[in-house]
Amino acid sequence: MKYWRVPLDSKEIEVSRGIVVILEERCKGCGFCIAYCPRNVLELSPGYNVKGYHPPLVKKPDDCVNCHYCETICPDFAIYSLEIPPELPQQAVLPEFATEAHD
Amino acid sequence: MEKVKTRPDHPLDALLRTDRIPHIWCPGCGIGTAFSACMVAMQASGIDLNKTVMVSGIGCSGRGAGYTRLDSYHTTHGRAIPFATGMKLANPELNVVVFSGDGDLFAIGGNHFIHAARRNMDITVVCVNNLIYGMTGGQAAATTPCLAKTTTTPRGNPDPPFSLPLLAFASGATYVARWTILHTRDLTKSIEEALNRRGFSFIEVLAPCPTGYGRKNKEKSMDTLKIYQERTIIKNGAHPMDAVMDFGNSITLGKFIDQDRPTFSENYDKTCRPQFA
Amino acid sequence: MKPSVLTGEHFMTGDVACAEGALAAGCLFFGGYPITPATEIAEHMASRLPDVCGTFVQMEDEIAAMASILGASCAGVKSMTATSGPGFSLIMENLGLGICTETPCVVVNVQRAGPSTGLPTLGAQGDMMQARWGSHGHYEIIALAPASPQELFYLTITAFNLSETYRTPVLVMTDEVTGHLSERVVIPEAGAIKLRHRPAPKGRKDRFKPFQPGPNGVAPMAIAGEGYGIHVTGLTHDERGYPGMNVETQIEMMARLTLKIRNNLDDIIRTEDYRMEDAEIVIVSYGISARSSLAAVDEARDQGIKAGLLRLITVWPFPEQQIQKLAERVRGFVTVEINLGQIHLEVQRCAGGRVPAFLVGHPGGAVIPPERIVETLKTAF
């Protein structure tokens, strides 16, 4: 975020971080989340789902602040965000995501 | 080696009939957002969801009842409110929410709305106003703006529309608010307040109908959302007479009325069966 | 404060007896609208329901009245409304909703002469076919026809019992004459009145299917607020209650809705025989006309005509088998009703042309005098 001056407590404020989860098969490509994400994290994906709609894809994952607005505005229950706890250094692995290895 | 992520459920999945998602609403339809806000409000309000029922009428918005895991009743066109009245009076512990559309609640159901508001029935009515009869293909509704093109007004709508908050206020509703699906957080908060208060609460939600209304009036969903973003003004506490809705000019949103007066049940108990009160 | 069962001997009108019957059956919700000649039922319920901690609401029209009683029933309370011809017409759409959603409730029609506004203060029996087919679509319905204030008391209770057992709205088709007649009504002890309640669901709540029929063809009913999370819709739906926009779901649902009635006719159909053992001519009648017919049977017998009365207590489902069996041994039927031929058509149909079926009808507004019935018996046979 651009400041014209730096607030005195900017080092102490933690900006929340989030990870966006997209349920592609539910998406109908309305574009609300893409247009109204305050950090422009999403864009229309070139790929499409089973019904032929273009779901969003996360183009700037590091910019997500977990505001949940995509989740709030989505009419199709197709997108939501999860908070990345401050102690985790990066967003690659969240405890909620179980990874299973398949051979 | 392939890493497969199993993801956690959408936060609302517990309240949804996920076996029926994706739902039937069109891409860009606002009903899904209004419905989602209603679900979030129910969760946040702290009310007992086992005792919460959703009653709806016929129409696109009326289909909402079919997607929630709560006890839900999809009744006849316009008659959700008297049905809800019967439910609430039979079991006052129920939290009754009516989720239906503008045509259903105000045209065919207008009379029932007026009387339930007059009686201050303790129910919450969420009216998704998409200015059209969507389910049947886009006919003019009592809320369709003047000169709009619809399938039954191909040369333009000659009629003026209702002001729903004014009608609700005049009928005696004790909580009257108007939001849009873009103002989702305010909407959710309004529904939450309505759920936690006694009396007849009415919340109008403006939503786009890209198919029924939008195609003939050259308004895609994104265009409608732009109108909601740029031409709305929030005036909490404004008198419903001043809650104008002129899509070309200015739309007033906000929580207009929030009063307290005894509900039907309280009056009935006091007047008619004081021995049980 | 009076109890729900006013045990004792009373002198009361049919309308009041009907209301007392409802209270005795455990009715705790009445959503009504004033209409002559049923208004007294609403008035009596308004004054008595608070005694038993029930709720009376005068709704804004009969459409709302019917919707409200369905809602009350879905929330677990026995509910009723009462109306007459014009209101009966308004009730029809929501009656269909009640049938499709399998919601128990009772609708009383104190019939008056129609069509349209007609003769508001004079009785008739012209809504009988409407009782069967008034709502759109094909369905089964139960309709009872009391013939006296005493019977109005009892049959209202029966109506509630049948509606609870078969999860369907039940109609009580009386008429202005019976409704406004004052007669002796004996109300028994509460313990002597047998009540039936809707079958309760068993098993896991999350696996419950709200429209899966039980052994007698009727699905147990989950009421709102108990954590079953049911979906109830007027759209054609499957056993889960989910709408199904296809022919297969329609076929299944229609089978469910119709067979639960058609497979239980023994329990539902009630008739009363009067001097039928050796009858050669059968008078088929119901309601107030049955009382004229009783007198006519005696008068005819005095004149040497072997007449008997088959009084229909249940008019719908129609006792087809009884008429068919009788058609094999009697000389003919005479239907007596205050209309120009409605149940008469059913009698004709079931007699199958084997024997003649005549009608002693009336356009509406007056009770048919027994002399006219005897006249027909003499001239037709």
Burial class (CB in 10 A: 0-12, 13-18, 19+), C112: buried
- At residue B3 the predicted structure's pLDDT band, cuts being 50, 70 and 90, is very low
Q: What pLDDT is stored for residue B74 in this prediction?
A: 98
Q: What is the average per-residue pLDDT within C175-202?
A: 96
Q: How far apart, in whole angstroms, are the C-alpha atoms of residue C287 and residue C283?
A: 13
Q: What pLDDT is stored for residue C167 in this prediction?
A: 97
Q: What pLDDT is stored for residue A100 in this prediction?
A: 39
Cβ contact, residue pair C230, B72, below 8 Å: yes
Kindly report, residue by residue over B121-140, the tens digit of the pLDDT.
999 999 999 999 999 999 99
The 8-class DSSP code of residue C52 comes to G
Q: How far apart, in whole angstroms, are the C-alpha atoms of residue A81 and residue A19?
A: 5
Cβ contact, residue pair C68, B82, below 8 Å: yes
Cβ contact, residue pair C71, B55, below 8 Å: yes
What part of B 173-192 touches A (C-beta under 8 Å)? 181-182, 184-185, 188
Kindly report, residue by residue over C329-356, the tens digit of the pLDDT.
999 999 999 999 999 999 999 999 999 9
Which region, left, alpha or beta, applies to residue B120 given φ > 0 means left and ψ of -120 to 50 means alpha? left
Residue among C45, C49, C74, C223 with most chain B CBs within 10 A, to mutate: C74
Q: Which member of A23, A72, A103 has the closest CB to residue B10?
A: A23
Q: How far apart, in whole angstroms, are the C-alpha atoms of residue C359 and residue C344?
A: 6
The pairing of beta strand B250-258 with beta strand B175-180: antiparallel
The percent of residues above 70 in pLDDT, for chain C, comes to 100
Structure tokens at B272: 């008619």
Give the list of residues 6+ apart from residue C338 with CB closer than 8 angstroms, or none. C123, C124, C125, C126, C175, C288, C289, C361, C362, C364, C366, C367, C368
CA distance readout (Å), B222 to A29, A36, B102, B231, C341: 12, 10, 21, 14, 62
CA distance readout (Å), C362 to A9, C120, C125, C373: 94, 16, 9, 11
Show residues of chain B in contact with C233, CB under 8 Å: 65-66, 73-74
Domain ranges (residues) in chain B: 26-272
From C196, C155, C190, select the one nearest C18 (Cα to Cα): C155
The pairing of beta strand C142-144 with beta strand C314-316: antiparallel
Q: What is the average per-residue pLDDT within C152-157?
A: 98
Distance from CA of C34 to the nearest CA of B (A): 16
> Per-10-residue mean pLDDT for chain A, 103 residues long?
78 88 95 96 94 94 94 96 81 51 36
Residue C147 has pLDDT above 60, yes or no: yes
Distance from CA of B228 to the nearest CA of A (A): 12
Q: Which residue has the tokens 């409304």?
A: C81
Domain ranges (residues) in chain A: 23-84
The helix or strand, by DSSP H or E, that contains position A20, with its residue range, turns out to be: strand A17-22
Q: Which member of A72, A76, A99 has the closest CB to residue B22?
A: A76
Structure tokens at B121: 């029935």
Q: How far apart, in whole angstroms, are the C-alpha atoms of residue B210 and residue C379?
A: 72
Q: Which residue has the tokens 């069109």?
A: B26
Give the list of residues 6+ apart from residue B202 with CB closer than 8 angstroms, or none. B117, B125, B127, B164, B165, B168, B173, B175, B176, B177
CA distance readout (Å), C289 to C93, C176, C233, C284, C311: 29, 12, 39, 9, 9
Show residues of chain A in contact with B32, CB under 8 Å: 74-77
Kindly report, residue by residue over C203-242, the tens digit of the pLDDT.
999 889 999 999 999 999 999 999 999 999 999 999 999 9
The percent of residues above 90 in pLDDT, for chain C, comes to 98
For residues B225 and A32, the answer to whether their CB atoms sit within 8 Å is yes
Give the list of residues 6+ apart from residue C68 with CB closer than 8 angstroms, or none. B82, B83, B85, B86, B89, C29, C31, C57, C59, C79, C81
Q: C35 phi and psi, to 5 degrees? A: -160, 130
Q: What is the average per-residue pLDDT within C93-110?
A: 98
Kindly report, residue by residue over C368-377, the tens digit of the pLDDT.
999 999 999 9
Give the list of residues 6+ apart from residue B12 with CB closer than 8 angstroms, or none. A77, B36, B39, B40, B43
Q: What pLDDT is stored for residue B277 in this prediction?
A: 65
Tell me chain B's radius of gyration from C-alpha atoms.
Answer: 19
For residues C232 and C210, the answer to whether their CB atoms sit within 8 Å is yes
Structural domains for chain C: 8-192 (3.40.50.970), 271-380 (3.40.50.920)
Domain boundaries B26-272, CATH class: alpha beta
Question: What number does CATH give the domain A23-84?
Answer: 3.30.70.20
User: What's the mean per-residue pLDDT of chain C?
Assistant: 97
Show residues of chain C in contact with B83, CB under 8 Å: 67-68, 70-71, 74
- Provide long-range contacts, Cβ within 8 A and 24+ apart, for C259-262: C259/C217, C260/C166, C260/C167, C260/C168, C260/C213, C260/C216, C260/C217, C260/C218, C261/C140, C261/C141, C261/C142, C261/C166, C261/C168, C261/C317, C262/C140, C262/C317
**Peptide bond before B165: cis, by omega within 30 degrees of 0?**
no
Q: What pLDDT is stored for residue A90 in this prediction?
A: 60
CA distance readout (Å), B128 to B125, C145, C167, C356: 10, 45, 33, 60
Q: Which member of A23, A32, A102 has the closest CB to residue B2?
A: A102
> Are B and A neighbours with ≥3 CB pairs closer than 8 A?
yes
Residue B2 has pLDDT above 90, yes or no: no
Kindly report, residue by residue over B58-95, the tens digit of the pLDDT.
999 999 999 999 999 999 999 999 999 999 999 999 99
Q: What pLDDT is stored for residue C60 in this prediction?
A: 97
Q: What is the average per-residue pLDDT within C175-201?
A: 97
Q: Which residue has the tokens 């014209």?
A: A4
Q: Which member of A51, A73, A96 has the closest CB to residue B184?
A: A73
DSSP tally for chain C: helices H, then strands E? 13, 16
CA distance readout (Å), C110 to C28, C178, C294: 21, 8, 21
Q: What is the average per-residue pLDDT within C121-127?
A: 97
Show residues of chain B in contact with C55, CB under 8 Å: 89-90, 268
The 8-class DSSP code of residue C159 comes to H
Q: How far apart, in whole angstroms, are the C-alpha atoms of residue C17 and residue C114?
A: 24
Cβ contact, residue pair B4, A31, below 8 Å: no
Q: What pLDDT is stored for residue A92 in this prediction?
A: 53
Q: How far apart, in whole angstroms, are the C-alpha atoms of residue C285 and residue C294?
A: 9
Structure tokens at C107: 């609708």
Q: How far apart, in whole angstroms, are the C-alpha atoms of residue B263 and residue A61?
A: 50
Structure tokens at A36: 């109204």
Show residues of chain B in contact with C230, CB under 8 Å: 71-72
Q: Which member of B10, B11, B27 has the closest CB to residue A53?
A: B27
The 8-class DSSP code of residue C243 comes to B
Residue among C4, C49, C53, C57 with most chain B CBs within 10 A, to mutate: C57
Asked if B60 has any chain A CB less than 8 Å from its own CB, the reply is: no
Q: A76 phi and psi, to 5 degrees? A: -115, 10
Kindly report, residue by residue over C247-287, the tens digit of the pLDDT.
999 999 999 999 999 999 999 999 999 999 999 999 999 99
ipTM higher than the 0.90 cut: yes
Among the ranges given (A90-94, B190-194, B218-222, C100-104), the one the predictor scored with the smallest mean pLDDT: A90-94
For residues C132 and C106, the answer to whether their CB atoms sit within 8 Å is no
Nearest CA in chain B to C225: B51
Give the list of residues 6+ apart from residue C146 with CB closer than 8 angstroms, or none. C14, C18, C152, C154, C155, C156, C172, C174, C178, C287, C313
Q: How far apart, in whole angstroms, are the C-alpha atoms of residue C44 and residue C49?
A: 8
User: What's the mean per-residue pLDDT of chain B?
Assistant: 95
Residue C148 has pLDDT above 60, yes or no: yes
For residues C143 and C352, the answer to whether their CB atoms sit within 8 Å is no
CA B207 to chain centre: 10
Structure tokens at C119: 């003769």
Residue B4 has pLDDT above 50, yes or no: no
